[in-house]
Structure 1
Amino acid sequence: MDSETLVKERSTTMRVLTDPVTTPCGHNFCKTCISTHWDTSTTSRCPVCNQVFSTKPQLKTHLKPHLTASGLRRHQLVEPVENLESMMCPKHSKPLELFCQSDQTRVCLMCSVLEHRSHQLVPLGEYLFEEKKVYLQQMIQKRREKLEEIRESVRIKKEAADRAKAEGVEMFIALMELVQRGLKELMKTMEEQQEVMVHPSSYEGTVLRAVAQLEDTLSDEMMMIKMLEMKRLQQFAVDVTLDPLTANPYLVLSDDGKQVYDSDVWKNHPHNKERFYPCASVLGKQNFSSGRFYFEVQVKGKTDWDLGVVKESINRKGNNTATPKNGYWTVALRDGNVYNACEDPPVILYLKCVPEKVGVFVDYEEGVVSFYDVDAAALIYSFTHCCFTHKLHPYFSPGLNYGGKNSAPLIICPVNQSE
């Protein structure tokens, strides 16, 4: 093996040496390669720096494990072999076997003598080993941080499950009390029936009064349970304000960002990708990507409106169809008395009374969006089995003005959480 061949072999494999040894001049080679070279040469010359030794020198075994193939495998430091040009000094055509810590660059021996004499130099293999150690330490730290995030997520979900369990127990107790009261009323009615059997003429009136009283009692108890459920949802109330950067140019927002209506008058707002057009819509500034949240909106006096939540990335230009597939989870009022859940196709809602205030509740992890008539404590509609993987924003559309018929604003109300 001639000198040129040995240098090339050494350059391309300098980080994966077999039985590495060091010559007296400080260069590293595979033991077999350098021994074979000297055995077939007339002189004992270093193939790198060309230093001539009067006698065949004693080769020193290299003890640094990162220079060996086994050491590299053990430390997982094997990297793709670089091409010859990238491992050779472009100025001196010598192997790049040193690293200048002062200039943070790879250099050859000639560079170290001519240009980097006063700089701090280390063997390139040692530098690469230390660099890989730093990289591995950073990866370990990232894994630790990720593990901590997972632990925190598990803790939050456990707390949410514990709260849900406690809330379920509370609802169960309320229902049991309701059943017990109903049974007491029935027992009382039966006792009254036995008493009036002696006087058949008054039997019918007594039974009717007992049934009416039982219905009133059950109705009151059911209302109490509904109010208890509303109170539970209101614990997740968040402060929502309207984002003027997203408002359609025909919309008017109040200074406090709590009210919006359509004015039928175009505003010269700056054009931006966040702004809705032509849809008369606006988003809440706040976004949510976990947990549960709730807000209430007054819809009193309006003939058209849309409310709900949307994913942040929805298309805000053009006439979009409001469906979950397109990133909308909303309910709407049309023509003053037609309520729809914006599914595909829309679901017509038959409500017992006209809601004046609508509550919107979202459970991100459970994939639920529910709408409530706040005053009646009644569920309007629920989107279930939703799969949220994105940020959600509260969504508001006060509808067109229709010559003043629908000029009343949508109003984001403070949530009353009093006893």
Structure 2
Amino acid sequence: MAAVLEKLQEFQREITCSICRSYFSEPVTVWCGHSFCRACLSQSWTLGATAFSCPECRQVSPVRKFPGVNGLLAQLTDMGKELCFLHLQSAEGQSHCGRHRKVFKLFCEDDHAPLCVGCSQSPEHGAHKLSPVEEAAQKSRKKLQHIRSDLQKRFDEAEELLAQEERLVDDWNWVIAGAYTKLHQFLREEESQCLERIVEEERASQDSLSQHRQALQDLMLVLQEAGHQPNMDLLQEVKQLLGRSESVLSQRAKVVSPELREYPIPGMIKMLRRFRVDITLNPTSDNPFVTVSEDLKSVKAAEGWQVETKHDSDDFVYHYVFAEQAFSSGRQYWEVDVTQLPQWTLGIHTPFLRKRRGRNVDSSPPVFLLCCVKKEEDYYLQTYPGSLNHRIKVRVPRVGIYLEYTPGTLAFYNVLQRSLIYRFYPIPFTDPITPIFCPGPPLPGSKAGPMTGLLELPDEDDASAAAPDNYEHEDTA
């Protein structure tokens, strides 16, 4: 019996990773012949020096290529785990130490190994933390239960994100198809390619979320089953379960709020500039919170507009400036430079809207707005009214606004990216429409810059070259 146990222990050493001291998980064998868990080797190399070296013998790899999984060693590891499991199920192996023939009463939390009293007195475990088996098992169950609860929250979040992504497929098809309608005689091929790209990106996003949700569900089932295992079985698997749980949780979907996707529409900005108008600001809009320039082309937050504390965007007070122009027919397009403003609002004001059959417009707002707000380290574009509330990779430096009185369209564009941000349609206009501007609210302690209307606009092909030098502008205190 002792000889069999010795052979089994030797076999265990052969299928044990020298880094984590556990059975191999996705074993990989490096050039010198030593083997490690794939995750352990990856972490060792990530944290190491510039050259890849073996964590055991320190030989430097001749190539910087990560080895593939050793399938044969993985099979041997599974066989070894099964043999050890069968040994633990035997009368001698299940609850008795093979060396001292005594009952396992303690559990070493450093080595994750059961010990008898004799083993616990050896110098090998002298400085280790030892706990009674029952106490260690209870502690492990609590950890797994906590992880399972967290997994349920992540699973619910993944469900909601997946549902949101499914809704975005139809939304973006409608938005982009509507934008391309204006150029359908010239851009049929581009329109088709763009719509295909939307479907592919949404499908890829859905697939990623589905895989993440499935991983959460699978792990929850595994943890649920583990909670009902006998103490010794649980303790044998707890380290692997904790490692797997940490790996799955680290893959949590990053996009809690959707990111605004950019779909450039070739020729759109150039076409819209055919309808550009000269917008000047109404000097009577000047007040203690905003200041209009002498040439009536720009506006900035005045020193009287102080934001002492950080609030949610819904709590901010907005101070608007109206344009001198009002439009009651035709098509108009104007652009605004917001490079130096971390937060701003652009839009239109209309006193009344006509009633439209089949829809309740009595409660429709007198303004239609696009807002840029900063929340912690991220920037968001929001519409009021409307459903847009999306993060953006880089702040939009120049916004184009297109207004069509009939059938009632208001659209916002990222000029430099030549992409649509959002479109209100249809709006039942009845009265003259006035553009409005808001250069804030300013961030606490920041130096406010101007919001400037642009009259002389470059050609679309020169848009990238016309980007301001401080396009990646950082807020200055």
Higher Cα Rg, which structure? 1
Normalising by structure 1, what TM-score? 0.41
Normalising by structure 2, what TM-score? 0.36
